[in-house]
Amino acid sequence: MFKLLLFGYGNPGRGDDALGPLLIERINHLKLADVTCLVDMQLLIEHATDLAGFDQIIFVDADMSCREPFEFSSVRAAKDSSYTSHALTPAALLFIYLRIYQHAAPPAFLLRIRGYHFELGDPLSTRASVNLEAAIKQIQQWHLQHA
């Protein structure tokens, strides 16, 4: 059994910034075997303990600078400028995991879904919704390949 953690983050009150949490919500409803879904508004130091016990981690976030419909890349532990702030990058969170457990976290990836409108109170844009559907299909395909 290959255990996957899907960790979506973003602010549902800021339009397309909800893409990460929305993907997690949709995948969670599919009840895919050996997939654990976690969602929060931002990555915090405390989330390092949530990464333990998985074979792979996929962080999911909205991004206004990536290509459509999404970009998928690997993430490595790194002490970056977010290391001392309240909200962390995936790389900084993996670095904290390394410091706590004295070994590397499971292989991790970042799925950045293209968003367009991030103003407070904005609804999810139509274009971001299309990108969300493409990202959900990608996760489903990944799951089929690893099941």
Domains annotated on the chain, with CATH: 4-146 (3.40.50.1450)
- How confident is the model over 27-32, as a mean pLDDT? 95
Q: Output 10 or 87, whichever has higher pLDDT.
A: 10
Q: Determine the angle formed by the axes of helices 19-30 and 126-146, rounding to 10 degrees.
A: 40
99-to-107, 108, 115 alpha-carbon distances in Å: 16, 16, 33
Residues near 120 by Cβ (< 8 Å), separated by ≥ 6?
13, 14
Distance between CA atoms of 113 and 61, rounded to whole angstroms?
6
What local confidence, expressed as pLDDT, does residue 84 receive?
57
pLDDT digits (tens, 9 = 90+) for 55-102: 999 999 999 999 999 999 999 999 987 655 668 999 999 999 999 999
Distance between CA atoms of 132 and 135, rounded to whole angstroms?
5
Q: Output 30 or 85, whichever has higher pLDDT.
A: 30
4-to-36, 45, 78, 119 alpha-carbon distances in Å: 6, 20, 21, 32
Distance between CA atoms of 40 and 93, rounded to whole angstroms?
14
What local confidence, expressed as pLDDT, does residue 86 receive?
61
Token pair 């109170």 is at which residue?
121
Q: Where are the beta strands (DSSP E) in the chain?
A: 4-9, 35-40, 56-63, 70-75, 108-114
pTM (predicted TM-score): 0.94
- Torsion angle of the four alpha carbons 86, 40, 137, 33, in this order, in degrees rounded to the nearest 10: 120
What local confidence, expressed as pLDDT, does residue 83 receive?
59
What local confidence, expressed as pLDDT, does residue 87 receive?
81
Counting beta carbons within 10 angstroms of the beta carbon of residue 53, is it exposed (0 to 12), middle (13 to 18) or buried (19 or more)?
Answer: exposed
pLDDT digits (tens, 9 = 90+) for 113-137: 999 999 999 999 999 999 999 999 9
